[in-house]
Amino acid sequence: MNARTDLDLSHLWMPFTANKQFKAQPRMLTAAKGMYYTSGDGRQVMDGTAGLWCVNAGHGRPEIAEAIAAQAQSLDYAPGFQLAHPGAFEAATAVAAFMPEGLDRIFFTNSGSESVDTALKIALAYHRARGDGQRTRLIGRERGYHGVGFGGISVGGIVANRKTFSGALLPAVDHLPHTHNLEQNAFSRGQPAWGEHLADELERLVTLHDASTIAAVIVEPMAGSTGVLIPPKGYLQRLREITAKHGILLIFDEVITAFGRLGRNTASEYFGVTPDLITMAKGISNAAVPAGAVAVKREVHDAIVNGVAGGIEFFHGYTYSAHPLATAAIVATLNIYQRDQVFANADALAKTFEDAAHALKDAPHVADIRNLGLVAGIELRSREGAIGARAAEVFQKCFDHGLMVRYTGDTIAVSPPLIINAEEIGELFARIRKVLTSVA
């Protein structure tokens, strides 16, 4: 797959990659524009995953590149501790305009993992500032993915991410059950009808630990990296009711769903449920520069900032928080989303995407299809004693056939750039069908 022969592959330790297998047969990407990557051997590869769920406006947007270049020439870096630059405030104002009403205090990070750890710290600091310092317990969910910081994998529920580090995870953490149930919900279109009651497990955890010890609940409104798990109807609303009743903060991890993936600014807007904090990254800058943020309800922010008489109120931050190049990319990206009505395009094509995905129901090996907005998960039947092997082969063969998809376990995940059109949707799923018919 790599046309170059002069690359030394030995020095780079690749993340979330089977390094030995990759280096034996590397898959290189050398350029990108619009809906397509160029592979190392010069082929055009349709981007069926928006990079890693993040290139929502498509690749190679000149407005973003020009904004980054101009910023680099005028101010390449400014420290964010006790100093600032105008772009940081401009970007915060732009991001706040996309958030639900009241979540208009923005803390910048550099990734989804940092956003999650930041949100967890904000939750703990909030309760401490209000005199409820005993609220230290955090509630995540089985099969949840919240990045790779120690806080994120503690509240996360993917065993492969946790097991190596189990002795160093946060101690005061518990987990809700996940919502995936093939017997009840296989081949649901959009939100499944069964499963709202699973939110009531939070009441059981409250009874077990007592509400006075619980700081926050964090969930992905739509779980992506674990295999596209769609929330049952009423489930998120019920979580909001329970957390509000017990004074527990609700955090939506929208690293994937913020900025148009469901055809709305946020999943919070899509589902009509407003949490206390929203974590985001990925689409915030169209992935042109690493960037992330946490949107915080004004009351939560004010309790922390006004709870200290003077000096630093929140001992947290990053060297690259609100980096000038990142804020330039954020502002340019959000302008594109508004000007080109990118989210409206995603919303208009959601039914076409749903129909094309579910048309694979009769394809070989398909056990389930799940979808919402411009996201689909195609769960395959596992080979005996080799979970994930079939999906890995589909991933490889899709790339060979000019399509990039994601896989986790035996689920193929599809989440293309939001600029996709109906013809490209048809081509995307046609290529998946072709590959499925060729896999044993």
Bridge partners (DSSP) of residue 252 are 219, 278
CA 360 → CA 188, 248, 392, distances in Å? 13, 41, 18
Q: Give the pLDDT confidence score for residue 2 in this predicted structure.
A: 56
Start-end ranges of CATH 3.40.640.10 in the chain? 65-339
Return mean pLDDT, the chain.
97
DSSP for 336-392, written as a single string: HHHHTTHHHHHHHHHHHHHHHHHGGGGSTTEEEEEEETTEEEEEEPPBTTBTTHHHH
Start-end ranges of CATH 3.90.1150.10 in the chain? 19-57+341-436
19-57+341-436 adopts what CATH topology?
Aspartate Aminotransferase, domain 1 (3.90.1150)
pLDDT in tens, 214-234: 999 999 999 999 999 999 999
pLDDT in tens, 320-345: 999 999 999 999 999 999 999 999 99
pLDDT in tens, 253-275: 999 999 999 999 999 999 999 99
pLDDT bin (cut points 50, 70, 90) of residue 3 is low
Q: Give the pLDDT confidence score for residue 213 in this predicted structure.
A: 98
Kindly report the CATH number that applies to the domain delimited by 65-339. Answer: 3.40.640.10
